[in-house]
Amino acid sequence: MKHTIAIVGAGISGLLTARVLAERGASVIVLEKSRGVGGRMATKRVGDAVVDQGAQFFTTKDPRFSSWVEAWGARGLAGRWPGSTHRWIGIPGMTAIGKHLATGLTIEREHKVTAARRHACGCWELDIEEHGILRAERLVLTAPVPQSLAILDAGGVILDETLKSRLQAIRYHPCLALLVVLDGASNVPVEGISPESGPLRWVGDNVKKGISPQVPAAVTLHASADFSARHYGLPETEVSALLLEAARPWLAGRNVVSSALHRWKFSEPRSEFGEPCVWLPELTLGFAGDAFGGPRIEGAALSGLAMGERVASHLLH
Ligand SMILES: Cc1cc2nc3c(=O)[nH]c(=O)nc-3n(C[C@H](O)[C@H](O)[C@H](O)COP(=O)(O)OP(=O)(O)OC[C@H]3O[C@@H](n4cnc5c(N)ncnc54)[C@H](O)[C@@H]3O)c2cc1C
């Protein structure tokens, strides 16, 4: 079956692109390599705990994003961080937002796109790992930019040299995330801690945040960009030992009951493209995501909304 638009990636930018287009009646399919949706807005179970392992909270400045957030708040899918007037969280975890946005859309999970070819008829042919080929008239890539470029390279797609070098210049910080469940209460303040130096850039307790009531403490530790780059390939036991040592002041001498390490290769863009999205009508190809709209959830969301509008206006012509 040929779809009008294929979107690679079910993070917030891909899901909002899909929603805008589906609301205009377009036939959209979203292809996501993971089992879940939401991308870097990810919540994980560690033992009995519920832990946000990627983004911790989001803020809103732009009314185009605030109106979505208020609607999520009204449905109980988003709420304020305890004691904060400006931080929003997903309830019961960041993934709630992705799951909600995915409702009613055609989404193929565990569908990793490995190559995109431009066919002679002007449409796109996508190779999907273990799932064969899918055809679409238009293609929107919302994975981190190096992953999107790899998909196009594998299909022999030639981009304008200036655009290609601008896209190739977008790099991301890695982030090592250690999630730990403790046998007693932590010393982490309700609002979390963002150390300015040292191995950690974030320490937050998901129990105090209100998303994991089943355990005494469930702490998210995010390593700094510098630490993550230097220790990215170390075995889990070594990374865990170093991060637990760095977090000692906030762990109140408690024992670790269970833990999990996640390696975010593309955590946040180090530079921005400078436009909310890219749409190439001659190739019927688009790029969206936080590298375009800004390096946080709001930026990724605004990029997805802008991409949806661009493709929708292309459908009219
Ligand atoms: C550790 C960490 C902490 C953060 N903290 C915050 C925070 O507190 N506040 C905030 O606002 N932002 C935070 N961010 C940033 C925020 O999460 C991102 O800016 C935003 O979620 C990006 O959304 P996106 O749609 O652009 O990309 P993503 O969420 O990365 O979505 C891209 C999707 O594409 C999929 N994909 C990739 N390649 C393929 C392929 N070949 N085939 C199919 N699917 C593919 C991926 O699996 C993913 O689901 C944090 C991020 C990290 C990692």
Tell me the pLDDT tens digit for each residue of 247-303: 999 999 999 999 999 999 999 999 989 999 999 999 999 999 999 999 999 999 999
As a CATH number, domain 2-33+110-169+273-316 is: 3.50.50.60
Residue 316's pLDDT is: 74
pLDDT in tens, 13-44: 999 999 999 999 999 999 999 999 999 999 99
Model confidence, pTM: 0.97
Distances (CA, A) of 65 to 105, 293, 305: 20, 12, 9
Kindly state the percentage of the chain with pLDDT values over 90.
95
40 Cα–ligand 1 center, Å: 3
As a CATH number, domain 172-269 is: 3.90.660.10
Could you tell me the residue ranges of all domains in the chain?
A: 2-33+110-169+273-316, 172-269
Which ligand 1 atom minimizes the distance to the CA of 58?
A: 11
Cα-based torsion angle of the residue sequence 194, 195, 198, 203 in order, rounded to the nearest 10 degrees: -50
Backbone angles phi, psi at 106, to 5 degrees: -85, 110
Ligand 1 pocket, residue 12 CB under 6 Å: yes
95 pLDDT higher than 70: yes
pLDDT in tens, 115-144: 999 988 889 999 999 999 999 999 999 999
Calculate the average pLDDT of the chain: 96
Residue 2's pLDDT is: 55
Ligand 1 pocket, residue 58 CB under 6 Å: yes
Mean pLDDT, to the nearest integer, of 90-103? 98
Ligand 1 pocket, residue 267 CB under 6 Å: yes
Which ligand 1 atom minimizes the distance to the CA of 289?
A: 26
Residue nearest to atom 13 of ligand 1 (CA): 55
Please check whether the two domains, 2-33+110-169+273-316 and 172-269, share a CATH topology.
no
Mean pLDDT, to the nearest integer, of 213-238? 97
252 Cα–ligand 1 center, Å: 32
Residue 51's pLDDT is: 97
pLDDT in tens, 147-169: 999 999 999 999 999 999 999 99
The Cα–Cα gap between 180 and 259 comes to 4
Mean pLDDT, to the nearest integer, of 101-110? 98
Residue 122's pLDDT is: 86
